[in-house]
Amino acid sequence: MFVRFAAGLLLAALSGHSIAASFDCTKASNFAEKQICRDGYLSTVDGVLARTYKEAMAATDQPEALRQSQREWLTIRNQCTTQKCLDKALGGRIQSLEAFISAEKKKAYERAHAQRIAELRAQEAERTRQQEAAFARQEQERQLRTQAAQQAALAQRPAVSTQVAPSYPAATVQQVQGQQSESPLVS
Protein backbone atom coordinates (compact mmCIF):
# COMPACT_ATOMS: atom_id res chain seq x y z
CA MET A 1 0.00 0.00 0.00
CA PHE A 2 2.77 2.40 0.93
CA VAL A 3 4.58 1.65 -2.34
CA ARG A 4 1.43 2.50 -4.30
CA PHE A 5 1.03 5.69 -2.29
CA ALA A 6 4.68 6.69 -2.79
CA ALA A 7 4.55 5.83 -6.50
CA GLY A 8 1.45 7.99 -6.90
CA LEU A 9 3.12 10.92 -5.23
CA LEU A 10 6.28 10.49 -7.29
CA LEU A 11 4.27 10.29 -10.49
CA ALA A 12 2.34 13.41 -9.59
CA ALA A 13 5.54 15.29 -8.76
CA LEU A 14 7.34 14.20 -11.93
CA SER A 15 4.43 14.84 -14.25
CA GLY A 16 4.75 18.56 -13.76
CA HIS A 17 1.11 18.90 -12.77
CA SER A 18 0.56 20.46 -9.45
CA ILE A 19 -2.17 18.98 -7.37
CA ALA A 20 -4.01 21.59 -5.40
CA ALA A 21 -5.34 21.05 -1.94
CA SER A 22 -8.73 19.44 -1.76
CA PHE A 23 -10.27 22.51 -0.15
CA ASP A 24 -10.38 26.26 -0.75
CA CYS A 25 -7.10 27.63 0.60
CA THR A 26 -8.61 31.12 0.98
CA LYS A 27 -10.74 29.64 3.76
CA ALA A 28 -7.89 27.82 5.55
CA SER A 29 -8.52 28.37 9.24
CA ASN A 30 -6.04 26.23 11.19
CA PHE A 31 -2.38 25.24 11.09
CA ALA A 32 -3.01 21.98 9.22
CA GLU A 33 -5.03 23.63 6.44
CA LYS A 34 -2.62 26.57 6.11
CA GLN A 35 0.40 24.26 5.99
CA ILE A 36 -1.24 22.04 3.33
CA CYS A 37 -1.88 25.14 1.22
CA ARG A 38 1.72 26.44 1.64
CA ASP A 39 3.56 23.15 1.08
CA GLY A 40 3.38 21.64 -2.43
CA TYR A 41 4.16 18.15 -1.17
CA LEU A 42 1.42 18.23 1.47
CA SER A 43 -0.96 19.76 -1.06
CA THR A 44 -0.21 16.84 -3.43
CA VAL A 45 -0.75 14.30 -0.65
CA ASP A 46 -4.01 16.04 0.27
CA GLY A 47 -5.14 15.79 -3.37
CA VAL A 48 -4.36 12.05 -3.40
CA LEU A 49 -6.30 11.72 -0.16
CA ALA A 50 -9.29 13.54 -1.68
CA ARG A 51 -9.35 11.19 -4.69
CA THR A 52 -8.99 8.14 -2.44
CA TYR A 53 -11.83 9.39 -0.22
CA LYS A 54 -14.01 9.93 -3.29
CA GLU A 55 -13.26 6.37 -4.46
CA ALA A 56 -14.10 5.06 -0.99
CA MET A 57 -17.43 6.92 -1.05
CA ALA A 58 -18.23 5.33 -4.41
CA ALA A 59 -17.33 1.87 -3.11
CA THR A 60 -19.33 1.91 0.11
CA ASP A 61 -22.98 1.18 0.74
CA GLN A 62 -22.77 3.16 4.00
CA PRO A 63 -21.58 6.64 2.97
CA GLU A 64 -22.75 8.34 6.16
CA ALA A 65 -20.54 6.09 8.30
CA LEU A 66 -17.57 6.93 6.06
CA ARG A 67 -18.36 10.67 6.30
CA GLN A 68 -18.44 10.39 10.08
CA SER A 69 -15.12 8.54 10.04
CA GLN A 70 -13.63 11.31 7.88
CA ARG A 71 -14.90 14.00 10.27
CA GLU A 72 -13.30 12.17 13.20
CA TRP A 73 -10.03 11.86 11.29
CA LEU A 74 -10.09 15.60 10.46
CA THR A 75 -10.20 16.45 14.18
CA ILE A 76 -7.09 14.31 14.64
CA ARG A 77 -5.36 15.87 11.60
CA ASN A 78 -6.18 19.36 12.83
CA GLN A 79 -4.27 18.67 16.06
CA CYS A 80 -1.01 18.41 14.08
CA THR A 81 1.48 21.24 14.58
CA THR A 82 4.31 20.01 12.33
CA GLN A 83 4.74 19.02 8.70
CA LYS A 84 5.91 15.57 9.80
CA CYS A 85 2.70 15.04 11.78
CA LEU A 86 0.59 16.18 8.82
CA ASP A 87 2.52 13.93 6.42
CA LYS A 88 2.02 10.96 8.75
CA ALA A 89 -1.69 11.75 9.29
CA LEU A 90 -2.41 12.19 5.56
CA GLY A 91 -0.43 9.09 4.56
CA GLY A 92 -2.06 7.01 7.28
CA ARG A 93 -5.52 8.12 6.21
CA ILE A 94 -4.79 7.27 2.57
CA GLN A 95 -3.65 3.79 3.60
CA SER A 96 -6.69 3.40 5.82
CA LEU A 97 -9.03 4.43 2.99
CA GLU A 98 -7.28 2.11 0.52
CA ALA A 99 -7.76 -0.79 2.94
CA PHE A 100 -11.40 0.26 3.33
CA ILE A 101 -11.85 0.35 -0.46
CA SER A 102 -10.33 -3.12 -0.79
CA ALA A 103 -12.62 -4.46 1.93
CA GLU A 104 -15.69 -2.82 0.34
CA LYS A 105 -14.79 -4.23 -3.08
CA LYS A 106 -14.31 -7.65 -1.53
CA LYS A 107 -17.71 -7.41 0.19
CA ALA A 108 -19.32 -6.29 -3.07
CA TYR A 109 -17.69 -9.20 -4.89
CA GLU A 110 -18.83 -11.64 -2.20
CA ARG A 111 -22.39 -10.26 -2.35
CA ALA A 112 -22.42 -10.55 -6.14
CA HIS A 113 -20.95 -14.03 -5.91
CA ALA A 114 -23.52 -15.11 -3.31
CA GLN A 115 -26.31 -13.65 -5.44
CA ARG A 116 -25.02 -15.51 -8.50
CA ILE A 117 -24.87 -18.77 -6.54
CA ALA A 118 -28.44 -18.20 -5.34
CA GLU A 119 -29.54 -17.56 -8.93
CA LEU A 120 -27.80 -20.73 -10.12
CA ARG A 121 -29.39 -22.75 -7.32
CA ALA A 122 -32.81 -21.36 -8.20
CA GLN A 123 -32.24 -22.23 -11.86
CA GLU A 124 -31.14 -25.75 -10.88
CA ALA A 125 -34.20 -26.16 -8.65
CA GLU A 126 -36.44 -25.03 -11.52
CA ARG A 127 -34.68 -27.41 -13.91
CA THR A 128 -35.15 -30.26 -11.43
CA ARG A 129 -38.83 -29.37 -10.97
CA GLN A 130 -39.34 -29.34 -14.74
CA GLN A 131 -37.54 -32.68 -15.12
CA GLU A 132 -39.67 -34.23 -12.37
CA ALA A 133 -42.84 -32.87 -13.99
CA ALA A 134 -41.75 -34.26 -17.38
CA PHE A 135 -40.99 -37.63 -15.80
CA ALA A 136 -44.41 -37.66 -14.10
CA ARG A 137 -46.11 -36.86 -17.44
CA GLN A 138 -44.15 -39.61 -19.19
CA GLU A 139 -45.03 -42.10 -16.46
CA GLN A 140 -48.71 -41.14 -16.66
CA GLU A 141 -48.65 -41.51 -20.46
CA ARG A 142 -46.93 -44.91 -20.11
CA GLN A 143 -49.62 -46.07 -17.69
CA LEU A 144 -52.37 -44.86 -20.04
CA ARG A 145 -50.75 -46.71 -22.96
CA THR A 146 -50.47 -49.88 -20.85
CA GLN A 147 -54.15 -49.65 -19.87
CA ALA A 148 -55.18 -49.03 -23.47
CA ALA A 149 -53.14 -52.03 -24.63
CA GLN A 150 -54.70 -54.23 -21.95
CA GLN A 151 -58.19 -53.09 -22.94
CA ALA A 152 -57.46 -53.71 -26.62
CA ALA A 153 -56.15 -57.21 -25.83
CA LEU A 154 -59.30 -57.99 -23.85
CA ALA A 155 -61.48 -56.74 -26.67
CA GLN A 156 -59.78 -59.06 -29.18
CA ARG A 157 -60.07 -62.31 -27.15
CA PRO A 158 -62.71 -64.79 -28.35
CA ALA A 159 -65.85 -64.70 -26.33
CA VAL A 160 -66.00 -67.38 -23.67
CA SER A 161 -69.38 -69.06 -23.29
CA THR A 162 -70.95 -68.34 -20.03
CA GLN A 163 -73.83 -70.77 -20.56
CA VAL A 164 -74.55 -73.19 -17.77
CA ALA A 165 -74.31 -76.88 -18.67
CA PRO A 166 -77.73 -78.55 -18.90
CA SER A 167 -78.80 -80.22 -15.73
CA TYR A 168 -80.26 -83.67 -15.74
CA PRO A 169 -82.88 -84.84 -13.31
CA ALA A 170 -81.54 -87.03 -10.52
CA ALA A 171 -83.44 -90.09 -11.75
CA THR A 172 -81.70 -89.92 -15.10
CA VAL A 173 -78.29 -89.81 -13.49
CA GLN A 174 -79.13 -92.87 -11.40
CA GLN A 175 -80.33 -94.75 -14.44
CA VAL A 176 -77.14 -94.00 -16.29
CA GLN A 177 -75.11 -95.16 -13.33
CA GLY A 178 -77.19 -98.31 -13.03
CA GLN A 179 -76.71 -99.11 -16.69
CA GLN A 180 -73.00 -98.76 -16.30
CA SER A 181 -72.94 -101.35 -13.51
CA GLU A 182 -74.92 -103.85 -15.60
CA SER A 183 -72.62 -103.38 -18.47
CA PRO A 184 -70.69 -106.56 -19.40
CA LEU A 185 -67.49 -104.64 -19.62
CA VAL A 186 -67.51 -103.86 -15.99
CA SER A 187 -66.25 -106.71 -13.93
pTM summary value: 0.58
17: pLDDT confidence band, cut at 50, 70 and 90? very low
d(CA 42, CA 15): 16
Integer Rg of the chain from CA = 49
Residue 65 lies in a domain: yes
- Of the candidates 2, 53, 42, the residue with the CA atom closest to the CA atom of residue 19: 42
Poorest-pLDDT segment among 98-107, 123-132, 154-163, 165-174 = 165-174
- Cβ atoms of 86 and 77 closer than 8 Å: yes
Handedness of CA 117, 123, 125, 128 (dihedral sign): negative
Residue 143 lies in a domain: yes
d(CA 83, CA 43): 11
Q: What is the mean pLDDT of residues 7-21?
A: 52
Within 8 A by CB and 6+ apart from 137, the residues are none
166: pLDDT confidence band, cut at 50, 70 and 90? low
Question: Which runs of consecutive H residues, i.e. helices, occur in the chain?
Answer: 2-14, 31-38, 40-59, 63-77, 83-156, 170-182
Residue 99 lies in a domain: yes
Q: Per the structure, how many domains does the chain have?
A: 1
Instruction: State what percent of residues in the chain have pLDDT above 90.
Output: 63
Is the predicted pLDDT of residue 15 greater than 90, yes or no?
no
Residue 181 lies in a domain: no
Structural domain of 138: 29-151
d(CA 187, CA 185): 6
Residue 175 lies in a domain: no
Is the predicted pLDDT of residue 120 greater than 80, yes or no?
yes
Residue 105 lies in a domain: yes
Tens-digit pLDDT profile for residues 53-65: 999 999 999 999 9
Residue 169 lies in a domain: no
Is the predicted pLDDT of residue 162 greater than 80, yes or no?
no
Position 63 scores a pLDDT of 96
Is the predicted pLDDT of residue 126 greater than 60, yes or no?
yes
Residue 18 lies in a domain: no
